[in-house]
C-alpha cells in the first residue's frame, strides 16, 4: 500500500462514518419526542430526575441498563412496583430491606422528593425502548396472564382477587392500578405460604404500607390467592 | 532524554501511579460489597455508590494524567524542540490533581452530579476544562513553533482535541433521560473507542519507532490506516449503546454492523506491532519493556476486541446489557488497552528521564508486577464473566427477580475479590519498581539507544 492510499483510507473512513452518525443524530432527535413521550415530561418529572442524580442512586442501580450493577434495574420500577411500594422503600430503606443481604442507604428524602422520584420513574417506565429489560417486559407478563386465564377454569384464587378488589391497587394482565406491585412480579419472587401470611397482616411485613389487612379471609382462602399469584410467574414455563 | 523540558513528565507519572494504587484498593472494597453484607450504618455514610464513583473517577483521572505526562515526554522529541511553557505544565498538574482530590472528597460528602462515570460536579468540570485548555495550548504552541509536523504527533494532537471536545457533552443537565444517555456515550464511547485509541496508536507508534529503529515512513503509513479504521468503525459504532435507551430501531442495525467491525483496527495494530518487532534493527532490551508492549497489544485485542464483540450484537446485548458481562469486558479492555499502555510508556520513559546507563534498568521485580497484575485482571474478568452469564440467564432469560439471581453471583464476586488481591499486590510492586528504578546490574544487557 502506498502512503497516498493510506491517507485516502483515513479520510474516507473518518468522514463517511462521521456524516452518517451526525445525520442519524439529527433524525433521532426528531423522534425522541414521540419515543419518550416528551409531552409528559413536566416539572415534577424533571425535579425527580434532579433528586435521582442528587442522591447518586444511579451508581448502585441501572436505569435503561446504564449505571452500577449492584441493585435492581429501575427502568420499569414503576410498572413493576407501583407508586406506594416505591414510596415506602425510599422513605425507609433500612426497614424495607432490613432482612436483605444487600442494603440501600437511608438518605432521609423529603416527602416531596419521593413524590418527584416516583413521577420520574413513571415517566421513564413509558419510554419506548424496544421492550428492554426482558425480565420486566409488561407485554410478556400480559401475554402469559392472558394464556393462563384462557386455559384454566377461573381458579378460586383469581375469583377471590376479583371479589376483594385487589386490582384497585395491583396490576394484573391488562387490568389494575399501579399503587402496589404487579401481581406477576410478586409471583416471581414469593411463595404461596408467604403470601397467605402476608395478607393477614401486611403491616407486620411492610410497616407503613397502604395495603389493608385481609384477616377476614380464612387461611385456606389466603393460600388459594397465594397459589394463584405464584402461578403467574413467567418462569413457570409459559 | 534529549530535551530538558521532557522532565515535566515525571511528576505526572508519579501522581498517576499513586492514584492507580488508590483506585485498585477501592476496587477491592466494591467487590467486598457484593459478597459480604455491609451493615446499614456503614452503608448510610459510605455506600457502594460513593465507592464506585471514586473507583471509576480515579481510573479516568490517573489514565488521563498518564497520557498527559506521556505527551509532554513525546512532543519535544517529535518536534525536536523544547516545550513552549514547562512551568505551565507543572501548574496544570497542580490544578488537575487538586481538582481531582476535591472531587473525591466531595463524593464522600454527597457532592456529585450523580451520573455514572461523570459524577464530577459542573463547577469542577469547568476547572478541568481550564486545565485541559492549558494543556492543549502548551503542546499546540510547541508544535506550531517547531513547524515540524509528523503523522504521529498529528494523531496524538487530534486524539487529545477530540477527547477535550467530547468532555463538553457530559457537562450539562439534560431534562430527558434518553437524551442524557445519548450524549453520555459521546463522552464514554467516543473516548475509549475513538479519541483514546488515536492517542494509543500515536504513543505506540512513537515507542515502536524508538525501540525498533523501524523506518518512520512504514510506521506512519500504517498509522493512517489504523486511525481510519478506528474512526470508521468507532464513530457510527456508538450505536451499540443506543439499542435500548428509547432511540429509533435503525440503531440496532447501524450499531450492530459498525461495532462488529471494531475489532479489525485493533487486530491491525497487533499485526503492525509484530511486523515492526520482526524488522527491528535494535535488540529487544530491556526485556520488561517488551513484555509490556506485547502484553498490551494482546490484552487490548482480547479485552476490547473479543470481549467487546461477544456482547455487541443486538440479539445478545438484549440479554447481557447492563449485567456483569459489561463489567467483565470493561475491566479487561481498560486494563489491556489503557493501563498497560500507560505503564509501557512509563517503563520506556522513566529510565531515559533518569538517564540510566543504556536506558536499561534492573527489571526483576517489574516482571512480578506485570504477571501478577495481568493474570489477576484476566482471572478477575473471567469471574465477572461467569457472574454475568449467570445473571443474563437467570434474570433476563428465566425471569428471576434481581435479588434472587444475585445469590449465586455472590460466590463469583468472592472469586473476583481473591483475584483482586493479586492485582493489588502486583500494582504495588509495579509502583514501587517504577518509582525506584535502578541501573541494570553489571553484565545484564547492552544499550538500546535514544
Ligand atoms: C483490584 C482490582 C479491581 C477490582 C476488585 C475491581 C472491582 C470493580 C467492581 C466490583 C466494580 C463495580 C461494577 C458494578 O457496578 O457492579 C468496578 C467497576 C469498574 N472498574 Fe474496577 N476493579 C478493579 C480494578 C480496576 C482497574 C485496574 C480498572 C481500569 C482502569 C477498573 C475500571 C473499572 C471501571 C471502568 C468500572 C465501571 C464498569 C462498568 O460500568 O461496566 N477497575 N470495579
Ligand atoms: C479499549 C477499548 C474499550 C474500552 C476501554 C471499553 C470499555 C467499556 C466500558 C467501561 C463499558 C461499560 C460502560 C458502562 O455502561 O458503564 C463498555 C461497554 C460496552 N462495550 Fe466496550 N470498551 C472498549 C472497546 C469495545 C469494543 C471494540 C467493542 C465492540 C466490539 C465494545 C463493546 C461494548 C458494548 C456492546 C458495551 C455495552 C455493554 C452493555 O450493553 O451494557 N467495547 N465498554
Ligand atoms: Fe462502545
- Measured from the alpha carbon of residue B60, the closest ligand is 1
Name the average pLDDT for chain B: 96
CB of B284 closer than 8 Å to CB of B348: no
Please check whether residues A65 and A105 belong to one and the same domain: yes
CB of B110 within 8 Å of a chain A CB? The answer is: yes
| β-bridge partners, A176 | A171
- Are A94 and A61 contained in the same domain? yes
**Mean pLDDT on B233-242:** 98
> Rounded to whole angstroms, how far apart are CA atoms B257 and A36?
25
Q: Please give the pLDDT value at position B446.
A: 47
For a pLDDT cut of 90, what percent of chain A falls above it?
85
CA dihedral B386, B387, B390, B393 (to 10 degrees): -110
CA-to-CA distance for B55 and B30, rounded, in angstroms?
Answer: 8
A238 and chain B: CB distance < 8 Å anywhere? no
Q: Give the residue from A132, A149, A164 where a domain finishes.
A: A132
Is pLDDT of B309 > 90? yes
Coil, strand or helix: which one is A191? coil
**pLDDT band per the 50, 70, 90 thresholds, residue B102:** very high
- Does one domain contain both A148 and A108? no
The total domain count for chain A is 2
Over residues B351-373, the pLDDT tens digits come to 999 999 999 999 999 999 999 99
**Domain end point (choices A77, A100, A132):** A132
Residues with CB under 5 A from ligand 3 (ion): B 189, 193
Is residue A238 over pLDDT 70?
Answer: no
B386-432 residue pLDDT tens? 999 999 999 999 988 999 999 999 999 999 999 999 999 999 999 99
> B121 or B448: which carries more pLDDT confidence?
B121
| Residue of chain A whose alpha carbon sits nearest to that of B51 | A59
A21 part of a folded domain: no
pLDDT at B447: 46
- Say yes or no: A124 and A143 in one domain: no
| Within a domain: A125 | yes
Q: Which residue, among A20, A57, A65, would best test binding to B if mutated, counting the most B CBs under 10 Å from its CB?
A: A65
- Residue in B119, B326, B339 to alter for ligand 2 test, most ligand atoms within 8 A of Cβ: B326
In a domain, A15, yes or no: no
- Residue A123 shares a structural domain with residue A161: no
B1 in Cβ contact with B341 (< 8 Å): no
Q: Is B388 in the pocket of ligand 2 (CB under 6 A)?
A: no
With respect to residue A26, please indicate whether it lies within any of the assigned structural domains.
no
User: Does residue B276 have its Cβ closer than 6 Å to ligand 2?
Assistant: no
Residue B448 is predicted with a pLDDT of: 44
Rounded Cα–Cα distance for residues B127 and B33 (Å): 33
A67 and A148 together in one domain: no
For range B209-217, the mean pLDDT: 94
Calpha distance A122→A114 (Å, rounded): 12
As a whole number, mean pLDDT of residues B72-76 equals 98
CA distance linking residue A170 with residue A165, whole number of Å:
9
**Are A127 and A42 within one domain?**
yes
The residue out of A132, A160, A193 marking a domain boundary is A132
Residue A30 domain-assigned (yes or no) = no
Residues A101 and A123 reside in one and the same domain: yes
Question: What pLDDT is attached to residue B272?
Answer: 95
Decide if A27 is inside a domain: no
CA of A180 to nearest chain B CA: how many angstroms apart? Answer: 17
Interface test with A, best of B51, B165, B171, B176 (most A CBs within 10 A): B176
Residue A182 covered by a domain: yes
Average pLDDT over residues B17-43: 98
Do residues A177 and A101 both lie within one domain?
A: no
If asked whether residues A146 and A168 sit together in one domain, one would say: yes
Domain that holds residue A207: 137-234
Q: Is residue A101 located within the same domain as residue A177? A: no
CATH number of the domain that residue A171 is part of: 1.10.760.10
Residues A81 and A68 in one domain: yes
**Whole-angstrom distance, CA of residue B41 vs CA of residue B48:** 13
Chain B contacts in chain A segment 142-171 (CB below 8 A): none
Three-state DSSP class for A176? strand
pTM of this structure: 0.97
Residue A24 in domain: no
CB pairs under 8 A between A and B: 228
Amino acid at each position: 500500500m502506498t502512503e497516498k492510499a493510506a491517507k485516502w483510507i483515513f479520510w474516507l473512513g473518518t468522514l463517511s462514518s462521521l456524516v452518517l452518525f451526525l445525520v442519524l443524530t439529527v433524525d433521532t432527535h426528531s423522534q425522541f419526542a414521540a419515543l419518550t413521550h416528551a409531552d409528559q415530561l413536566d416539572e415534577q418529572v424533571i425535579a425527580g430526575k434532579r433528586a435521582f442524580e442528587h442522591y447518586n442512586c444511579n451508581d448502585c442501580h441501572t436505569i435503561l441498563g446504564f449505571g452500577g450493577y449492584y441493585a435492581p434495574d429501575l427502568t420499569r420500577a414503576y410498572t413493576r412496583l407501583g407508586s406506594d411500594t416505591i414510596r415506602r422503600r425510599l422513605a425507609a430503606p433500612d426497614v424495607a430491606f432490613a432482612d436483605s443481604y444487600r442494603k440501600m442507604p437511608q438518605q432521609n428524602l423529603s416527602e416531596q422528593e419521593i413524590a418527584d422520584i416516583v413521577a420520574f420513574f413513571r415517566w421513564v417506565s413509558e419510554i419506548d425502548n424496544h421492550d428492554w429489560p426482558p425480565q420486566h417486559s409488561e407485554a410478556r407478563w400480559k401475554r402469559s396472564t392472558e394464556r393462563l386465564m384462557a386455559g384454566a377454569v377461573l381458579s378460586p384464587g383469581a375469583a377471590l382477587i376479583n371479589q376483594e378488589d385487589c386490582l384497585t391497587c395491583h396490576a394484573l394482565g391488562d387490568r389494575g392500578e399501579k399503587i402496589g406491585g404487579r401481581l406477576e412480579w410478586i409471583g416471581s419472587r414469593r411463595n404461596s405460604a408467604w403470601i397467605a401470611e402476608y395478607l393477614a397482616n401486611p403491616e407486620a411485613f411492610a410497616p407503613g404500607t397502604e395495603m389493608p389487612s385481609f384477616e377476614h379471609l380464612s387461611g385456606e382462602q389466603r393460600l388459594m390467592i397465594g397459589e394463584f399469584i405464584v402461578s403467574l410467574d413467567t418462569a413457570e414455563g409459559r | 532524554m534529549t530535551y530538558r523540558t521532557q522532565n515535566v513528565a515525571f511528576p505526572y507519572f508519579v501522581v498517576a501511579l499513586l492514584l492507580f494504587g488508590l483506585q485498585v484498593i477501592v476496587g477491592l472494597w466494591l467487590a467486598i460489597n457484593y459478597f459480604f453484607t455491609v451493615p446499614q450504618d456503614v452503608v448510610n455514610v459510605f455506600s457502594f455508590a460513593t465507592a464506585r464513583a471514586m473507583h471509576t473517577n480515579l481510573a479516568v483521572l490517573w489514565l488521563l494524567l498518564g497520557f498527559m505526562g506521556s505527551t509532554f515526554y513525546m512532543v519535544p522529541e517529535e518536534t525536536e524542540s523544547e516545550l513552549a511553557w514547562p512551568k505551565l505544565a507543572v501548574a496544570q498538574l497542580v490544578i488537575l490533581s487538586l481538582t481531582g482530590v476535591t472531587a473525591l472528597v466531595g463524593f464522600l460528602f454527597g457532592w456529585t452530579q450523580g451520573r455514572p462515570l461523570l459524577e464530577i460536579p459542573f463547577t469542577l468540570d469547568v476547572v478541568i476544562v481550564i486545565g485541559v485548555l492549558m494543556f492543549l495550548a502548551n503542546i499546540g504552541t510547541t508544535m506550531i513553533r517547531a513547524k515540524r509536523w509528523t503523522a504521529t504527533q498529528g494523531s496524538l494532537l487530534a486524539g487529545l482535541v477530540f477527547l477535550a471536545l467530547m468532555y463538553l457533552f457530559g457537562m450539562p443537565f439534560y431534562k430527558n433521560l434518553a437524551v442524557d444517555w445519548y450524549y453520555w456515550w459521546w463522552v464514554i464511547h467516543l473516548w475509549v473507542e475513538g479519541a483514546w485509541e488515536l492517542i494509543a496508536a500515536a504513543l505506540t507508534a512513537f515507542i515502536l519507532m524508538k525501540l525498533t529503529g523501524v523506518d518512520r515512513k512504514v510506521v506512519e503509513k500504517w498509522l493512517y490506516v489504523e486511525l481510519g479504521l478506528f474512526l470508521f468503525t468507532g464513530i457510527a459504532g456508538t450505536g451499540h449503546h443506543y439499542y435500548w435507551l428509547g432511540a429509533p430501531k435503525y440503531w440496532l442495525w447501524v450499531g450492530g454492523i459498525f461495532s462488529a467491525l471494531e475489532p479489525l483496527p485493533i487486530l491491525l495494530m497487533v499485526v503492525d506491532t509484530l511486523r515492526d518487532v520482526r524488522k527491528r534493527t535494535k535488540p529487544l532490551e530491556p526485556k520488561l519493556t517488551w513484555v509490556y508492549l506485547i502484553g498490551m497489544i494482546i490484552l487490548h485485542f482480547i479485552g476490547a476486541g473479543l470481549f467487546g464483540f461477544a456482547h455487541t450484537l443486538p440479539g445478545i446485548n438484549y440479554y447481557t446489557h447492563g449485567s456483569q458481562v459489561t463489567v467483565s469486558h470493561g475491566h479487561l479492555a481498560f486494563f489491556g488497552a489503557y493501563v498497560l499502555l500507560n505503564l509501557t510508556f512509563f517503563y520506556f520513559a522513566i529510565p531515559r528521564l533518569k538517564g540510566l546507563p543504556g536506558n536499561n534498568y534492573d527489571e526483576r521485580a517489574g516482571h512480578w508486577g506485570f504477571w501478577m497484575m495481568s493474570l489477576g485482571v484476566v482471572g478477575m474478568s473471567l469471574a465477572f464473566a461467569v457472574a454475568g452469564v449467570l445473571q443474563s440467564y437467570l434474570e433476563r432469560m428465566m425471569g428471576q427477580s434481581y435479588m434472587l439471581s444475585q445469590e449465586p453471583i455472590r460466590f463469583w464476586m468472592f472469586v473476583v475479590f481473591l483475584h483482586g488481591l493479586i492485582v493489588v499486590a502486583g500494582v504495588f510492586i509495579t509502583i514501587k519498581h517504577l518509582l525506584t528504578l535502578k541501573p541494570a546490574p553489571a553484565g545484564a544487557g547492552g544499550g538500546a539507544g535514544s
